[in-house]
Each structure stands twice: as C-alpha cells, then as structure tokens.
Amino acid sequence: MRTRRELLVGGAALGGSLLLPRASRAAVAAPEDRKFVFVWVHGGWDPTKVFMDSWAPSIVAGRTPGADGAGTSDERVQYGDLRLIANPARASVDRFFTDHHDRVAVVDGLLLRSINHPICRNLWMTNSANAARPDWPSTIGYAAAGRYPVPHIIESGFSMAGEYSAYTAYSGMGGSLQQLLDGSSNFAIRASEPHLPPEAGIEAAMDAFVARRGAARATAPTTPVEARLTEGFREAANRLVDFKDATAGLDMDAGNALTGQIQLATTLLAGDVTRCVTLMHGNFAWDTHTRNLDQDPLFDELFTNLDLLMRLLSATPGVRAPTLADETVVVVFSEMGRSPYLNSTGGKDHWMYTSCMMWGAGVRGGRQIGGYNDALNGLKISLSDGEVDATGKVGQPITPDVLGSTLLTLAGLDPAAELGADTSLRPLLA
C-alpha cells in the first residue's frame, strides 16, 4: 500500500498518482468515514440575491436594479425543486444550479438570534455564544482523531477548537504553517541574520526531545489545569511530527484566494491527512453596509469556486469511496444575513436570518428546506418532514442546533450526547 506521503507528493496538482484506483471502496462512505469541507462566507451574505424569491415591494426595492435604474434585473428561476433568484451580474450562480441543483440542498430562514459578527459566528459553529465550546468541524474531527494526523485543518477563518485545540491546525493565510514546517520562518529571529533550517537528523532529534518532554510533564502534573495543558502539548507535539511526515513535499500556503484553498483542501482530503477542512471567502468583504451591489461580483466569484470544488471532488478518487464526492460533505454558510431594506448609503445592515447550502455524502440533494416571509423573517418548519408552517404557529425555527445535529448525524455521531437533544433535519438525510 502506498504511504500518505506518496499520495500527497504525487497528487499535489490533483493528477498523476492521486488518480490511481484504490481497492475496497464503498459506493458511498459510511457516516464514520465521511469527511467535511466548511466554506465560510465572511461578513454576512444577502439571502435576497440568491435564496429568497419574494417579490414584495420592499424586497424588490433592495434588489439589483434594472438597466434603466427602475425595478429589478433579478429573475425568479426554478432549478428542479429549488426556487431561487438569478441575475446576469451573478451568472455563475445560474450555471452552478443548472449543473448541480439535484445534488445541493438549501436551508432557508436559519435564525441566529444575534446581529453581532463574533456572537453569530460562535452560534452558527457551536450553538453557543461561548467561544470556548468546540465548533462542529473540531468536534467531528476529534471523533476520528486516531485516523488522521490533524483531524481539522483551518486554511482560512477562525479557530474555535476549544478543548480539541491539539487536534486542530491553522495553516494561516500568509503561509505561517508552511514556514514553520520548512524552517523558513523568521519568528523571533533577526531578519538581517541568515537562518537555515536544521539538518534532518538534528530536526528528528529535536522532535523526539519535545515529544519525550511533553510525555514526561503529562505524567506528573501538579494541578488539573497543568494536566490539561501538558496533555494538550504532548498530543500536539506528537501530531506535529506525523503531520510533517504526511505533508512532506506539499506546499501548505494556499494563499488568500478561495481557488487555492479549494485545491489544497482537495489534496489534503485525498491524502487522508485530515477529516475536516475550513475555508473562507471574502475576508469580511461581504459586510456591505455601503453599496450592497458589491455582493453581486462576490456571489459570482463564490459560485465559480463552488463549481470548481464540486468538480474537483467528483474527479478525485476517494479513500473509502469511489470519489471524494462520495465521501465528503460540503457546507457553505455565512455567519448572518443582511436586512431586507437598503440604508441611506445603498448598503444593507446585519440581519439575524440567513441561508446555507449542503451537498455530498449522506445529503439528500434537490431539497429546499425552510423559507422566508415577505419581511425576510424565517419560517417555522417540521423537523420530521421539513414542511413549512406559513402561519408561524406550528413547528420550530431553524436554529444552529438543527444544523449542528444534522452535521453530527452525517458524521456518525450522536447529537443528543453533544447537544442534549437530536434536532436533525431528517428530510436532508439520504
């Protein structure tokens, strides 16, 4: 059997040896074998641009205007059972859903109960305003910690690993992890002085010393806090050695662009280095308090990249299924929505209702769950069948625990053990 290092080095460009067939792969990966890609749209996207098809006068006033400045150039379009919005300024959105609508599930009207970026981020990713609680990718990754050198890799975004921080690596948009791995970092070193990485034998001895020192400290802690810290240090030190070996010859600097992040994520998943990868688009550019029209090119760029992700996953052989698409769940989300009305500067402010998309292994595509009323407030649904209650009197709102439960179920975990109850969206589970 070829080693993880051979898979990575040979397939860094998603070609060559990564395309060799592998034996004993199921048609679709079992829940415990599924991997996850989280694509975070940073700043708060506007659901009316793609997901909300209301034509109420107040909503139309905030849509992309027509060529003469009157009305709107937005159009209602139905892709299979998905009722969405298209516009020539967001042409890649139309192409994406034309090609992939039967594989994608859309969830509308997700309630965050905050309009503060950090709090919404915590709520979306942990179901808690407490930033110390591990987020969904860290929890899912930790559950399979024995199978991956680094169960959760953050290429871009925020780390909310909590107690699982030793099982999470942040690669850094500036290539900081790459610099640490290849010895090119000048941290705490005078930039004017020459700096060369240690020879391989010396570096191995240093790694072994760090691992032994961490293990020794972990066996004789003086306080519970020291016990947790030293155990975390020991775990991280051991995993760093495995990670360095697994990624030897691979450029870990994906850059700021989502395209590079997607290419690196696909290589890491195909090499079985990680179970969960977090990516980010926009780096706060989506926070359009002024000129909400700026979201049109952002949506166009985002969906161009999502099409790339869909195609790369489908074209790349999986580890436990025929392709990565058969063993990977993709989640695309933004930490909040935008208000239904334009403000005095042509922008839109924060809104506590938003939408998200999911596709991949175990996800029932072609479904649109939830919805909005004409005021852009989310509608209550039945978790068992996904039916919307237009009166707002029956059912429950779609809150972060609902999405979290669904993701944990897809990963083969018990949502009740993590969240106290299983509120999974059953209609999204294939």
Mean pLDDT of the chain: 86
Check pLDDT > 80 for residue 404: yes
- Could you tell me the pLDDT band of residue 21, with boundaries at 50, 70 and 90? very low
Q: Per this entry, what is the length of the chain?
A: 430
Enumerate the domain spans of the chain. Answer: 31-173+254-428, 183-250
Check pLDDT > 60 for residue 12: no
Question: Which pTM value belongs to this model?
Answer: 0.85
pLDDT for the residue 49: 97
Alpha helices per DSSP H over 127-251: 136-143, 176-182, 200-219, 224-246
Residues 6+ apart with CB under 8 A from 309: 37, 39, 262, 265, 266, 330
- In the chain, the percentage of residues whose pLDDT exceeds 70 is 83
For the stretch 238-277, pLDDT in tens is 676 677 777 777 777 777 899 999 999 999 999 999 999 9
Average pLDDT over residues 209-227: 72
Check pLDDT > 80 for residue 220: no
The class that CATH gives domain 31-173+254-428 is alpha beta
pLDDT for the residue 174: 54
pLDDT for the residue 10: 38
Check pLDDT > 50 for residue 317: yes
d(CA 11, CA 17) in angstroms, rounded, equals 6
For the stretch 184-215, pLDDT in tens is 655 455 555 555 667 778 878 887 887 787 77
Check pLDDT > 60 for residue 20: no
Phi and psi at residue 237, to the nearest 5°? -65, -45
Average pLDDT over residues 20-38: 78
d(CA 406, CA 410) in angstroms, rounded, equals 6
Check pLDDT > 50 for residue 1: no
Residues 6+ apart with CB under 8 A from 342: 61, 62, 292, 348
Check pLDDT > 90 for residue 106: yes
Q: Quickly count helices (H) and strands (E) in the chain.
A: 12, 14
For the stretch 343-395, pLDDT in tens is 999 999 999 999 999 999 999 999 999 999 999 999 999 999 999 987 777 89
d(CA 106, CA 118) in angstroms, rounded, equals 24
**Computed from CA positions of residues 204, 207, 213, 218, in that sequence, does the dihedral angle turn out positive or negative?**
negative
pLDDT for the residue 2: 38
